[in-house]
Amino acid sequence: MTTHYQHLFLDGSSVNLPVGKVVCIGRNYAEHAKELNNPIPSKPLLFIKPNTALADLRNPLEIPSYSKICHHELEFALLIGKPLKKANVSDVAAAIIGYALALDLTLRDLQDELKVKGHPWEMAKAFDNACPISPFIPVEQIQDPQNVDIRLTVNGQLRQEGNTRQMITKINELLAYISTYFTLLPGDVVLTGTPAGVGELKSGDQLLLELENDYSFVTTVA
């Protein structure tokens, strides 16, 4: 893992930022909560992945050998370029400098085991390379981030499809809420939740991630 993002924008531009934390939101799409028989939270459900979880999506995905069930969770991601601390909803949009597609890889068997014991989920969610992420798209290239289609196809079969307007907590409200508890710093990444359709990944799987019909990224499972 490098200490800076370098040349990770699709337009060829570069950005020098510390590699920050990844702040994630669970159950931000109602249908995803239902498919796992989880209640829909009344407030955003937050958890954090360390910067060691970040990986280049274009490289083969690595599934830890100590898990037998690794699920994909497709996410619309935000790159933070300005500090946000106890921010107002009206102020947060200016802090976003890029968008991306990411996978919140989840070791579902280990997560279920931890849940039963009442333990934290970090071992199932925050392991090395648990957040493969695409190159970033400059903000000016996405007209309305709260109305974009995202899709994940595995081995030619559509697995996940959603639109960011389906989020329970919208992007600006989410960033303001996060900044109440965690200061967001330049280089931090925010994952905004996953639509329904999460499923298991196997070695050799071929993945296609799409944002609208304009951006697509291909990867494989090692």
pLDDT at 7 over 50: no
Q: What's the average model confidence in pLDDT over 176-205?
A: 97
According to DSSP, residue 135 is labeled P
Q: Please report, for the chain, the start and end positions of each structural domain, with discontinuous segments joined by +.
A: 22-221
- Left if phi > 0, otherwise alpha if psi is -120 to 50, otherwise beta: which for 110? alpha
C-alpha dihedral (31, 182, 63, 75), degrees to nearest 10 = 40
Q: What's the average model confidence in pLDDT over 147-167?
A: 98
Q: Say how far apart CA 125 and CA 127 lie, in whole Å.
A: 6
Confidence (pLDDT) at 3? 47
- Which CATH number is 22-221 given? 3.90.850.10
Confidence (pLDDT) at 153? 98
pLDDT category at 1 given cuts 50, 70, 90 is very low
Q: What's the average model confidence in pLDDT over 59-80?
A: 97
pLDDT at 194 over 50: yes
Confidence (pLDDT) at 176? 98
Q: What's the average model confidence in pLDDT over 34-54?
A: 88
Confidence (pLDDT) at 33? 63
Helices and strands in the chain: count of H runs, count of E runs: 4, 15
Average pLDDT over all residues of the chain: 93
Sequence-ordered alpha helix ranges (H) in 44-138 = 108-117, 122-125
| pLDDT (tens digit per residue) in 118-155 | 999 999 999 999 999 999 999 999 999 999 999 999 99
What length does the chain have? 222
pLDDT at 98 over 90: yes
According to DSSP, residue 41 is labeled P
pLDDT at 18 over 90: no
Q: What's the average model confidence in pLDDT over 37-46?
A: 85
pLDDT at 100 over 90: yes
Q: What's the average model confidence in pLDDT over 98-117?
A: 96
Confidence (pLDDT) at 217? 97
| Nearest in space to 131 (alpha carbons), one of 75, 179, 200 | 75
